[in-house]
């Protein structure tokens, strides 16, 4: 199969890509590639230039932060259809704030962040769809981070506990 | 720990709610740090023969000299001759229970409370969303589904804990999977050796496609987790009357007399612990409650 056709076929499997018009799917396919990473392989490291947004097509990617002296702390894993590296689509983020490692063999779509921003600037209909999706991702990550921060499974201080 | 055993043993269900009957600790399973399961057998064969419970119900576990604690039943309802209680040691009574050994005896009143609507759930998909010590009250429901698997549609268990070592019953997950239950496990925090998912329980709703009108959601865990599980269910248009929550709040008398566990007009011990969400909805996000 032609690599571009294979790429489009993979992108069409992503639920939120089904909202895109054909011309928008073609535009995004033009700035995207497929990538496979083996279990244990590092996709990017904290501090690297943030050049791509990734969408997990199969497998699992873990996000870790190095926390001296505790070592690497895993704070999120991304399973199929989840986006990682989303902040590189914003104009202010230029470097990775966490490291991403494949937990198992993983198949990804990678989208050039700079070119995606340019496409969004040129075509505001596409830009609206992309930014609306990114807003959903930010909202769910914010909710998840907030609940993790609350440490909801910590033993509550309860003087009435029996 | 030595415990005196009364000779009189009330065998009728109504008597059992007022006066403890005695049960011997047959086995103790260490589940996680500060959490163990106690496997109890009634000392009176007549009590054992009469005792049944529904998934989601609890017993008042009594230790002479220390008092009583409301503990949900975590074992298989198809085998009530061995009653399991998974207990977190957090207070005076439960810390005393943690010092019990096999062969010791405790008092039991119960079973108390409302239960998961297993009969009404038949023919539906079931989403069991729980966290931490919220899994034990749902394990009997899991066993019931396994015992009657053809009566239910798709079944998902969404379970989370603070860290990998806090997960309860991990050795059973494979068996549950083999029985046709899709098990999704996550932890709030982990190191890089953990191969499973990291994130919070409500986010597990993003991992599968739900037939919302035909789904029933059962949830138990920290109240803040329950709140967000309910949000995820409602956001996917699961009807409020198909969402059930089990709450745990300072139960003392087990009969709705003392008011320690009151939530709005309800007493968790008498009217709960399992509630249909639409009945709780007016009181759910009210800070004072």
pLDDT in tens, A105-162: 999 999 999 999 999 999 999 999 999 999 999 999 999 999 998 888 877 655 556 6
Domain spanning B13-112: CATH superfamily: Translation factors (2.40.30.10)
Strand partners for A55: A83, A109
- The pLDDT tens digits of the residues spanning B23-58 come to 999 999 999 999 999 999 999 999 999 999 999 999
User: Which of B88, B189, B196 is opposite residue A75, by nearest beta carbon?
Assistant: B189
Query: Which residues in chain A are contacts of B200 at CB distance < 8 A?
Result: 143-144, 147-148, 152
Q: Does B32 touch chain A (CB under 8 A)?
A: no
pLDDT(B285) > 70:
no
Lowest mean pLDDT among A131-145, B23-37, B101-115, B264-278: B264-278
Separation in Å, CA of B11 to nearest CA in chain A: 26
Q: Does B150 touch chain A (CB under 8 A)?
A: no
Q: Do A77 and B166 count as a contact with CB atoms less than 8 A apart? A: no
Task: Supply the pLDDT for residue B231.
Answer: 93
pLDDT(B113) > 60:
yes
CATH architecture of B118-246: 3-Layer(aba) Sandwich (3.40)
Task: Supply the pLDDT for residue B286.
Answer: 63
Cβ burial of B196 (10 Å; 0-12, 13-18, 19+) is middle
Q: What is the C-alpha to C-alpha distance for residues B28 and A36, in angstroms, rounded to an integer?
A: 47
Q: Do B225 and A79 count as a contact with CB atoms less than 8 A apart? A: no
pLDDT(B237) > 90:
yes
Q: Do A153 and B250 count as a contact with CB atoms less than 8 A apart? A: no
Q: Do B161 and A104 count as a contact with CB atoms less than 8 A apart? A: no
Residue B191 binned pLDDT confidence (cut-offs 50, 70, 90) = confident
Whole-number Cα distances in Å, B215 to A161, B9, B142, B197, B279: 34, 43, 16, 24, 18
- The pLDDT tens digits of the residues spanning B157-170 come to 999 999 999 999 99
Strand partners for B220: B130, B246
- Please give the residue of chain B at the shortest CA–CA distance from A78: B197
Look up tokens 């005076």; give the residue.
B92
Task: Supply the pLDDT for residue B8.
Answer: 45
Residues of A with CB under 8 A from a CB of B: 60, 62, 64, 71-77, 79, 82, 101, 103-104, 140, 143-144, 147-148, 150-155, 158, 160-162
Query: What's the average model confidence in pLDDT over B78-87?
Result: 94
Residue ranges covered by each domain of chain A: 3-150
Q: Where are the alpha helices (DSSP H) in A3-112?
A: 3-13, 22-29
* Pairing status of strand B215-220 against strand B125-131: parallel
pLDDT(B180) > 50:
yes
Q: May I ask the CATH class of domain A3-150? A: mainly beta
**Which of the residue ranges B41-55, B245-259, B264-278 has the most confident prediction, judged by mean pLDDT?**
B41-55
Residue B19 binned pLDDT confidence (cut-offs 50, 70, 90) = confident
Mean pLDDT of chain B: 89
Task: Supply the pLDDT for residue B74.
Answer: 97
Query: What's the average model confidence in pLDDT over B56-77?
Result: 93
Q: Do B188 and A152 count as a contact with CB atoms less than 8 A apart? A: yes
Identify the residue among A65, A104, A147, A155 best suited for mutation to test binding to B, counting B beta carbons within 10 A and taking the highest.
A147
CA nearest B174: which of B191, B157, B186?
B157
Sheet with A106-112, strands from edge to edge, namely A32-37, A106-112, A52-58, A83-84
Query: B170: which residues sit within 8 A by CB, 6+ positions away?
Result: B185
* Upstream peptide bond of B154 is cis (omega within 30 degrees of 0): no
Residues of each domain in chain B carrying CATH 2.40.30.10: 13-112
Q: What is the C-alpha to C-alpha distance for residues B162 and A22, in angstroms, rounded to an integer?
A: 44
pLDDT(B17) > 80:
no
- The pLDDT tens digits of the residues spanning A19-77 come to 788 999 999 999 999 999 999 999 999 999 989 999 999 999 999 998 888 888 899 99
At A156 the three-state DSSP class reads coil
Q: Does B260 touch chain A (CB under 8 A)?
A: yes
User: Which of A76, A150, A160 is opposite residue B199, by nearest beta carbon?
Assistant: A76
Q: Does B207 touch chain A (CB under 8 A)?
A: yes
- The pLDDT tens digits of the residues spanning A37-51 come to 999 999 999 999 989
- Please give the residue of chain B at the shortest CA–CA distance from A155: B90
A85, A109 in Cβ contact below 8 A? no
Q: What is the pTM of this model?
A: 0.87
Q: What is the C-alpha to C-alpha distance for residues B73 and B86, in angstroms, rounded to an integer?
A: 7
More confident residue, B148 or B267: B148
Q: What is the C-alpha to C-alpha distance for residues A66 and A151, in angstroms, rounded to an integer?
A: 20
Q: What is the C-alpha to C-alpha distance for residues A118 and B234, in angstroms, rounded to an integer?
A: 37
Q: Does B12 touch chain A (CB under 8 A)?
A: no
Identify the residue among A45, A78, A100, A152 best suited for mutation to test binding to B, counting B beta carbons within 10 A and taking the highest.
A152
| Cα diameter, chain A | 67
pLDDT(B95) > 80:
yes
The dihedral of CA A44, A47, A48, A50: what is its sign?
A: positive
Task: Supply the pLDDT for residue B183.
Answer: 97
Separation in Å, CA of A39 to nearest CA in chain B: 10
Residue B1 binned pLDDT confidence (cut-offs 50, 70, 90) = very low
A57, A107 in Cβ contact below 8 A? yes
Q: What is the C-alpha to C-alpha distance for residues B85 and B40, in angstroms, rounded to an integer?
A: 8
Residues of each domain in chain B carrying CATH 3.40.50.80: 118-246
Task: Supply the pLDDT for residue B289.
Answer: 53
Q: Extract the tokens encoding B56.
A: 């989601």
Separation in Å, CA of A2 to nearest CA in chain B: 30
Q: Does B200 touch chain A (CB under 8 A)?
A: yes
Query: Which residues in chain A are contacts of B34 at CB distance < 8 A?
Result: 155
Query: What's the average model confidence in pLDDT over B237-256?
Result: 82
pLDDT(B7) > 50:
no
């Amino acid at each position: 199969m032609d690599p571009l056709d294979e790429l489009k076929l993979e992108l069409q499997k992503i639920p939120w890509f089904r909202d895109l018009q054909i011309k928008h799917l073609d535009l995004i396919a033009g700035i995207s590639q497929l990538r496979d990473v083996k279990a244990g392989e590092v996709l990017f490291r904290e501090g690297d230039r943030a050049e791509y947004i990734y969408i997990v097509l199969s497998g699992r990617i873990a996000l870790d932060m190095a926390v001296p002296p505790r070592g690497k702390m895993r704070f999120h894993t991304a399973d199929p259809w989840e986006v990682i590296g989303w902040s590189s689509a914003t104009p202010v983020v230029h470097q990775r704030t966490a490291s991403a490692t494949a937990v198992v063999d993983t198949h990804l779509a990678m989208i050039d962040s700079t070119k995606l921003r340019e496409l969004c600037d040129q075509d505001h209909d596409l830009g609206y769809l992309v930014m609306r999706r990114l807003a959903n991702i930010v909202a769910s990550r914010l909710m998840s981070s907030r609940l993790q921060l609350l440490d909801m499974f910590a033993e509550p201080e309860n003087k009435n506990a029996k | 720990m030595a415990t005196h055993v009364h000779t009189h043993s009330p065998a009728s269900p109504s008597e059992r709610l007022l006066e403890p009957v005695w049960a011997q600790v047959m086995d103790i399973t260490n589940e996680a740090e500060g959490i163990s399961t106690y496997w109890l057998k009634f000392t009176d064969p007549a009590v054992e023969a009469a005792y049944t419970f529904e998934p989601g119900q609890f017993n008042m576990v009594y230790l002479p000299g220390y008092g009583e604690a409301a503990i949900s039943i975590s074992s298989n309802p198809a085998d009530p001759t061995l009653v399991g209680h998974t207990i977190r040691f957090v207070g005076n009574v439960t810390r005393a229970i943690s010092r019990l050994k096999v062969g010791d005896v405790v008092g039991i009143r119960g079973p108390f409370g409302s239960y998961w609507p297993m009969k009404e759930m038949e023919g539906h998909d079931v989403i069991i969303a729980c966290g931490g010590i919220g899994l034990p009250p749902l394990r009997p429901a899991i066993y019931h589904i396994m015992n009657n698997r053809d009566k239910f549609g798709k079944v998902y268990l969404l379970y989370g804990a603070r860290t990998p070592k806090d997960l309860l019953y991990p050795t059973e997950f494979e068996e549950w999977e083999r029985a046709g239950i899709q098990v999704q496990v996550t932890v709030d925090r982990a190191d890089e050796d953990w191969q499973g998912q990291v994130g919070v329980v409500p986010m597990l709703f993003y991992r599968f496609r739900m037939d919302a009108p035909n789904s029933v959601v059962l949830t138990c865990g920290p109240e803040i987790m329950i709140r967000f599980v309910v949000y995820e269910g409602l956001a996917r248009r699961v009807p409020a009357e198909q969402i059930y929550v089990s709450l745990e709040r300072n139960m003392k008398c087990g009969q709705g007399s003392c008011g320690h566990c009151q939530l709005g007009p309800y007493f968790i011990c008498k009217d709960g612990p399992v509630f249909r969400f639409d009945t709780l909805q007016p009181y759910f996000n009210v800070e004072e409650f």
